[in-house]
Amino acid sequence: MPLIDRRVLKHFDWTLFVIVLMLEGLGLVTVLSASYVASANRLDPLFVRQLVWIGVGTLLMLGALWFDYRALVTYSYPLYAIVLLLLIAVEVIGHSTGGSRRWINLRLFKLEPSELAKIAIVFVMVRYFRLEPPPGGWGFRHLIIPCILLGVPAALVLKQPDLGTGVVLVLITATLLVASGLNWRVMAGLALAGMLAAPLSWHYLKPYQRARLESFIDPQADPLGSGYHIIQSEIAIGGGGSWGKGYMKGTQARLNFLPEETTDFIFAVYAEEFGLAGSLLLLGLYASLIGRGLWIARHARDRFGSLLAIGITGMIFWQVAINMMMTTGMLPVVGIPLPLVSYGGSSLFTTMAGMGILMSVNARRHTF
């Protein structure tokens, strides 16, 4: 095997690459704006670090492109195991901020293993469902092992606590189950069970999580407490209007009314400054990215590649959907970054690796 497969180069997915770069560009611009206040007129270290991570992430993406995705059949479980170990390590030596323990301090970089878990769950689920289902689709008994594979990382993530990532793990798995041929009746049963279980899960939520849910239903009930984030975010987005307040001119972010303005609420910063025009551009880019991902899934050479593409696309989709619905007040506040746009190395690396794998699936659709 040559060092560089010429066909891979020939089928390099420029569409996806350009979309990814554009999203990262918009993200960088917004991170700069959101972090501007604190840094008083000089280039913010946050911006510089994000730039470095985009560079490293791009290398990671190209690296993933060179690897034949089929090798993942072999590496899925080991990678999954490493992520599990990291998640356990968080529990032991993790670094906590704001009441939750999510990071491992690597000096150079604070690793957030729950981000890696998102792609790890894609790997194991795809690995598990890579074969054709029996006639009628996967039944209940096929779900025992996936349930364990999902349950362990999800439990670790929820314990941090990180409700958002936990939900995303479940949704990625559900997407893959649907795609890989789950029995329709089983699917209906699971949906029903999920709906019934939702009220019960209330008892397992932390008080702040309950407060967020409550304030989602009625943000004005406690406008300065748990409802504050939703209200301020909606004000920022709505205040942006059609064309936005202009770059660096968003008052909500500038004057610190927005929480987590470089990470979870970066969309509010962006939408305030660039208005509906900017929001729709961003939404359009994500839609293109997801569309491209699903196109790759459809045209993949094999079932494994196709499922891999669906899983990665689902990972992107759910994060985008939850983040945007949360910042626009359609969902309660959970900590989910906006992929490629939010500040944060772990999320960026995970997403870029996923993009590389998507490209790899696409590049190898003609090879045998």
Binding positions for another protein, rule: CB under 8 A: 132-133, 175, 178-181, 224, 232, 234-242, 251-252, 255-257, 271-272, 275-276, 279-280, 283, 286-287, 290-291, 294-295, 297-303, 306-307, 310, 313-314, 317, 320-321, 324-325, 328-330, 366
Q: Which is nearer to another protein, 86 or 172 (CB)?
A: 172
Q: Is the dihedral of CA 60, 65, 67, 68 positive or negative?
A: positive
**Smallest distance from the beta carbon of 252 to another protein, in angstroms?**
6
Q: Which is nearer to another protein, 133 or 190 (CB)?
A: 133
Q: Which is nearer to another protein, 104 or 359 (CB)?
A: 359
Q: Which is nearer to another protein, 90 or 237 (CB)?
A: 237
**Smallest distance from the beta carbon of 27 to another protein, in angstroms?**
18
Edge-to-edge strand ranges of the sheet holding 100-105: 95-97, 100-105, 110-111
**Smallest distance from the beta carbon of 254 to another protein, in angstroms?**
8
**Smallest distance from the beta carbon of 251 to another protein, in angstroms?**
5
**Smallest distance from the beta carbon of 174 to another protein, in angstroms?**
11
**Smallest distance from the beta carbon of 264 to another protein, in angstroms?**
16
Q: Which is nearer to another protein, 314 or 335 (CB)?
A: 314
**Smallest distance from the beta carbon of 290 to another protein, in angstroms?**
6
Q: Which is nearer to another protein, 105 or 256 (CB)?
A: 256
Secondary structure of the chain in the HEC alphabet? CCCCCHHHHHCCCHHHHHHHHHHHHHHHHHHHHHHHHHHCCCCCHHHHHHHHHHHHHHHHHHHHHHCCHHHHHHHHHHHHHHHHHHHHHHHHHCEEECCEEEEEECCCCEECHHHHHHHHHHHHHHHHCCCCCCCCCECHHHHHHHHHHHHHHHHHHHHCCCHHHHHHHHHHHHHHHHHHCECHHHHHHHHHHHHHHHHHHHHHCCHHHHHHHHHHHCHHHCCCCCCHHHHHHHHHHHHHCCCCCCCCCCHHHHCCCCCCCCCCCHHHHHHHHHHHHHHHHHHHHHHHHHHHHHHHHHCCCCHHHHHHHHHHHHHHHHHHHHHHHHHCCCCCCCCCCCCCCCCCHHHHHHHHHHHHHHHHHHHCCCCC
**Smallest distance from the beta carbon of 101 to another protein, in angstroms?**
22
Q: Which is nearer to another protein, 110 or 301 (CB)?
A: 301
Contact of 147 with 195, CB cutoff 8 Å: no
The C-alpha atoms of residue 41 and residue 91 are separated, in whole angstroms, by 38
Q: Which is nearer to another protein, 35 or 58 (CB)?
A: 35
**Smallest distance from the beta carbon of 240 to another protein, in angstroms?**
6
The C-alpha atoms of residue 178 and residue 65 are separated, in whole angstroms, by 26
Cα end-to-end distance, the chain, whole Å: 13
Q: Which is nearer to another protein, 232 or 262 (CB)?
A: 232
